[in-house]
Amino acid sequence: MDLQLPKSEYPRVVIVGGGFGGIELAKRLKNKPFQVVMLDKHNYHTFQPLLYQV
């Protein structure tokens, strides 16, 4: 897989995993001077605590 990321003047933060922790970290860095990249094997998030209701 070839990942092309745009050039940025800001430091890059790579978040591995899009679970609760990864998403919370991305939200906290949203308005900070960082270029945030999240890597996960899925392109969606499953809110697992509510799966029992399905």
User: Could you list the pLDDT tens digit for every one of the 54 residues in the chain?
Assistant: 677 888 889 999 999 999 889 999 999 999 999 999 999 998 887 777 766 666
3-state secondary structure the chain: CCCCCCCCCCCEEEEECCCHHHHHHHHHCCCCCCEEEEECCCCCCCCHHHHHHC
Residue 8 Cα to chain centre, angstroms: 17
At residue 25, the pLDDT reads 97
Select from 54, 43, 37, 46 the least CA-distant residue to 19: 46
At residue 45, the pLDDT reads 78
Q: Specify the pTM.
A: 0.74
Domain boundaries, the chain: 12-42
